[in-house]
Structure 1
Amino acid sequence: MPGIRLGCAGWALNRERQADFASQGTHLQRYARVLNAVEVNSSFYRAHQVKTWARWGEAVASDFRFAVKVPQTITHEQRLRDCEALLDAFLGECTALGKRLGCLLIQLPPSLAYQPVQVAVFFEALRQRFDGQVVIEPRHASWTGAQAQLIRYRVAQVAADPSRFSTDAQPSGWPGLQYWRLHGSPDIYYSAYDHERLQALATRLLQAAAEGIETWCIFDNTAAGAALENALTLQRLLINAIPVDPEVPG
């Protein structure tokens, strides 16, 4: 699936889907043989040692990528203020993934309104330290006014489901990256997506990839195991939709 990163929030393998993954290796190794991306949410709650990040990076193939969630100490406690030392510590750890670090995910608390000056200070600090892909998931409606600043700092805005405000259901911000983050609806974290919804999503992902846009799709409806099933179904839809070049006679 050229240009498309597909995976789940975490690499836990629920019992119902075990048969879809090879039996040898750690859960991460088995997961990474089937899907080509994962979102690390545990980094939001606690720090991981450099050797842990390095071990994860070494456990997967060279074309596998991790999206890494920025710690809540930065987003929820400091609320993007005075974060330089925290950024240094976090990046000093997760960059041990090396080239398998695909992007950073910044998820903001619903109460954090868009403040242009403070956001600029934060993004300046981040960009002084990290030149890779960054996506942000704001949850306050005032962030509809942040588009110019997101583009300036090369930060893509997540397309979230369920939507929290009028414009966050579609990818926005920096146009060089799309990141679909599907939490499950109507029951957040629990509900599975039906075939019609996944078919429409496959079309959108393929269109973006055909335009040369790096495109991610992460299923976060993990509470009852729907994420793996949805990811595998979407993977089949994407593969079946990609045209196969006819063999050239020898």
Structure 2
Amino acid sequence: LYALPKPEIVTRWYEQTHDDFRFCFKFPATISHQAALRHCDDLSSEFFDRLAPLASRIGQYWLQLPATFGPRDLPALWQFLDGLPKDFTYGVEVRHPEFFAKGEAEQQLNRGLHERNVNRVILDSRPVHSAAATSPAMIDAQKKKPKVPVHAVMT
């Protein structure tokens, strides 16, 4: 989910799923990429308000950060996460190379997520990069998926 669904779509999703179904919605790019988690309280409120009819069916909200979001941006991540509704589970996917280098930046990230009971989303882009890009679709996929190691970390 990179844009807000229309209210009628949210209603349809509710009607088409059972009580035991769980959604995992991605925060819109307006929050994660354009605003870089800063000064986006109104955007976040709109996001949660729009998805409120599905609240009982939310498995986790997923925050996918761009590769430009690095260690110096962690204070913005902590402030953003600390301001989220406590009724839900959250996961964060990072793409900056320093968060995969097993150094201080990765330790700070994992520690901060653990302190907030937030999951670190595991990104495995190996299949996308395992073959030569010979088609426009494959070239596009390889451009969009970072080539980072898989770090299975429990936060």
Q: So what's the TM-score if we normalise by structure 2?
A: 0.74
2:50 counterpart (93, 96, 120): 93
Cα distance per residue 1:199-224 (max 9 Å; x no partner): xxxxxxxxxxxxxxxxxxxxxxxxxx
Q: Following superposition of structure 1 onto structure 2, how do residues 74-153 of structure 1 map, counting pairs within 5 Å?
A: 74-114=31-71, 115-126=73-84, 129-143=85-99, 144-145=106-107, 146-153=109-116
Contact 1:150–1:173 under 8 Å retained in 2? no
| Residue 111 of structure 1, CA deviation | 1.2
Q: So what's the TM-score if we normalise by structure 1?
A: 0.47
What is the rounded CA distance, in whole Å, between the counterparts of 1:170 and 1:60 in structure 2? Answer: 33
What is the rounded CA distance, in whole Å, between the counterparts of 1:58 and 1:103 in structure 2? Answer: 19
Q: Following superposition of structure 1 onto structure 2, how do residues 1-250 of structure 1 map, counting pairs within 5 Å?
A: 43-44=1-2, 46-114=3-71, 115-126=73-84, 129-143=85-99, 144-145=106-107, 146-162=109-125, 164-166=147-149, 169-174=150-155
| Residue 62 of structure 1, CA deviation | 1.4
- Structure with higher Rg: it is 1
Match of 1:245 in 2: none
Q: Which amino acid aligns with 1:172?
A: V
Contact 1:81–1:118 under 8 Å retained in 2? yes
Identity score, percent: 26
Q: Which amino acid aligns with 2:151?
A: Q
Contact 1:158–1:170 under 8 Å retained in 2? no
Structure 2: runs of 5 or more not aligned: 100-105, 127-146
RMSD, aligned α-carbons: 1.7
What is the rounded CA distance, in whole Å, between the counterparts of 1:138 and 1:118 in structure 2? Answer: 14
Number of residue pairs the alignment of both structures matches: 127
More helix by share: 2
Structure 1: runs of 5 or more not aligned: 1-42, 175-250
| Residue 119 of structure 1, CA deviation | 1.6
What is the rounded CA distance, in whole Å, between the counterparts of 2:63 and 2:154 in structure 1? Answer: 13
What is the rounded CA distance, in whole Å, between the counterparts of 1:98 and 1:70 in structure 2? Answer: 15
Contact 2:125–2:148 under 8 Å retained in 1? no
Q: Which amino acid aligns with 1:82?
A: H
